[in-house]
Chain A
Amino acid sequence: MITALLYTAAGLLLFCLGLWSFLMHRPLLRKLIALNVMGSGVFLVFVALAYRGPEGAPDPVPHALVLTGIVVAVSATALALALGRRLEEAERD
């Protein structure tokens, strides 16, 4: 139980760190990394939720959610990077 709680706390800490960084920094890349850190924090919370003690099999639902979440995060990051590149090109012209 302590283990799960530790992981959950770590996840929340990551989320807060990411949020702080997102709000404090202007550059796109930093903001994106911050968002991904926040995302990892949330995923960590989910993974910790799935833990059902050393004997029990883990809850499959949070795992499925995390997998989906990762896919979403990757696509969102890709879109942001693509937009950032286009913007840079537009500004160079």
Chain B
Amino acid sequence: MIDTLALAITLPLLGALAAVARPRAARAIGLITALVTTAGVAALVIEVAQFGLRRTDLGGWGAPLGIALQADGLAAALLAMTNLVALAVSLYASDYFGDGPIRRHFWPLWLLLWAALNGLFLAADLFNIYVALELVGLAAVALAALTGTREALTASLRYLLASLLGAITYLLGVALLYAAHGTLDLGQLANAIAEGPVAWTALVLMTGGLSIKAALWPMHFWLPPAHGNAPAPVSAALSALVVKAAFYLVLRLWFGLYDTAATLAAAHFLGFLGAGAVLWGSWQALRAERLKRMAAYSTVAQMGYLFLFFPLLAAAEPGAAREDLLAALVLFALSHGFAKAALFLAAGHIQQCAGHDRIAELSGTAQRLPATTFVIALASVTLIGLPPSGAFTAKWLLLSGAIAAGQWWGVLVVLAGTLLAAAYSFRLLGRAFGFEPTPYRCITAVHTEVPALALALTATLGLGLAGDALWTLLQVGGPR
């Protein structure tokens, strides 16, 4: 039987190597790899859904010595989102970069990032997570610098430094845990960890490092310039996938490794930071002058929503209510991933056609680029959290949890965030209906709009109406 766990990492890695070896054929190699990888991961996700937890020890070496890969429901859900978004980004990028000079660098780095992301979701021990995390960071930084402009280089450098700082802090936490328990395997650690200063310090260090990478306010400073200046397909991947990967690790640590009852105060602290992110990120998005900058700040806000779940999750007794919250959190993350990728792809389209992405001068896009405007509108529905999107279901459950727990500040933040998101989305969409003449240089081919449209529809209709399936998938192993 083929080991789909290993394939999820090796396929894109092989593709990356092939693209380095044959730069002329990079585009074709990239597209084929994208299709094959997505098919492989689809098989893996189906296996997890049907047969439960999948685990493999590479080379037959078991923990704590060897490298283990493991897929539970949570990993499978994020893998599914990541690979679908990555496929759409690949299809889009093959048009966006075409046969231009950047493609030689784009495809190897992109496939490397893809392999690293898959590796991160599948890693079953803390050190492999570190390696995957660094690989994701390095590939992402290099991709963000692709255009080579001064702004992009400055932003990437800042991104790299923040990312390295986060990773090294995380690694120190890992060292402390190894010192205390002599193992790095997630499963073995979960049973071994007891309350105490070492476990605490390790959690603080690891969470701190990861929240820099997840751009949790106020450690988000590196994100807007990096995501705003990267080429559109790269921005899409960075905003939809890379920050989510870091968040996924925080989630694993908090609700997979640690006993949560001991960390209620800390969870509240993360919740407050999340609230700050929602308000500050949305406000900055509202004030942004450029579309991509707006989208980047919106990512800061959306990451904040995810952290708002933490105090609720930490306070909830294990059982159906907590599983509902956790599933809502994942649903939120997935919806946002799809929608944000769609938004950035559409923004890239507008930038290509209008020659800029200054919001104040984007009048008349609804007339000139109807499909692109439609994508932005659909993505906005998810970002605001309106029905019928998955984000709406998730927001309903978040509000439910907050009201049930008596956390009225959380309710107010969510409602204010909704209104702010509506304000910044419709600042753009309102312009799109205007008739002031704006020069657009290209007539768009229909097939270039399909990837973004598919992503936006998945976020807004797919996850909204079929979100129930996620609950079944998340029953497989994973944090309780």
Contact = CB atoms under 8 A, between A and B. Distances in A.
A and B touch in the complex (CB under 8 A): yes
B156 interface: yes
A83 B134 contact: no
A79 B168 contact: no
Given A38-B168, A87-B157, A61 B64 contact: yes
A23 to B, nearest CB: 9
A84 B157 contact: yes
Question: Which of A28, A68, A79 gathers most chain B CB within 10 Å?
Answer: A79
B153 A76 contact: no
B469 to A, nearest CB: 38
A31 B163 CA distance: 13
B153 A87 contact: yes
Contact of A22 (B141, B165, B184): B165
Chain B interface helix/strand/loop/mixed: helix
Interface string A1-40: 0000000100000010000001000001001000100110
A79 to B, nearest CB: 6
A18 to B, nearest CB: 8
B168 A35 contact: yes
A75 B131 CA distance: 12
A49 B174 CA distance: 12
Interface in B150-188: 150, 153-154, 156-157, 160-161, 164-165, 168, 171-172, 175-176, 178-179, 182, 184
A66 to B, nearest CB: 10
A16 B157 CA distance: 22
B138 interface: yes
Nearest to B178: A49
Contact of B150 (A59, A62, A91): A91
B160 to A, nearest CB: 5
Nearest to A15: B172
Contacts of A46: 175, 178
Nearest to A91: B150
A53 interface: no
A46 B179 CA distance: 8
Contacts of A75: 138
Interface band, chain A: 20 to 34
A61 B171 CA distance: 14
A80 B161 contact: yes
A49 B175 contact: yes
Given A39-B168, A68-B127, A91-B150, A76 B160 contact: yes
Chain A interface helix/strand/loop/mixed: helix
A87 B154 contact: yes
B225 to A, nearest CB: 13
Question: Which of A61, A83, A84 gathers most chain B CB within 10 Å?
Answer: A83
A22 B163 CA distance: 13
Nearest to A77: B164
Given A61-B65, A68-B131, A75-B138, A86 B148 contact: yes
A62 B183 CA distance: 10
A61 B145 CA distance: 35
A72 B165 contact: no
A9 to B, nearest CB: 12
A32 B137 CA distance: 16
Contacts of A38: 165, 168
B35 interface: no
Nearest to A90: B150
A86 B172 contact: no
Interface in A53-67: 59-62, 65
Contacts of B137: 76
A72 B176 CA distance: 20
Contacts of B145: 83, 86
A80 B161 CA distance: 8
A65 B168 contact: no
Nearest to B135: A72
Contacts of B184: 61
B161 A69 contact: no
B131 A76 contact: no
Contacts of A72: 130-131, 134
Interface string B183-214: 01000000000000000000000000000000
Contact of B157 (A22, A28, A41, A65): A28
A73 to B, nearest CB: 8
Contact of B138 (A59, A65, A79, A90): A79
Contacts of A87: 150, 153-154, 157
A73 B127 CA distance: 14
Interface string B131-144: 10010011001100
A28 B168 CA distance: 17
Given A22-B165, A83-B141, A87-B150, A76 B134 contact: yes
- For the complex of A and B, the 3 pairs showing the least CB-CB separation, nearest first, are A87-B153, A90-B150, A45-B175
Interface of B: 64-65, 127, 130-131, 134, 137-138, 141-142, 145, 148-150, 153-154, 156-157, 160-161, 164-165, 168, 171-172, 175-176, 178-179, 182, 184
5 contacts: A15-B168, A38-B168, A39-B171, A45-B176, A46-B178
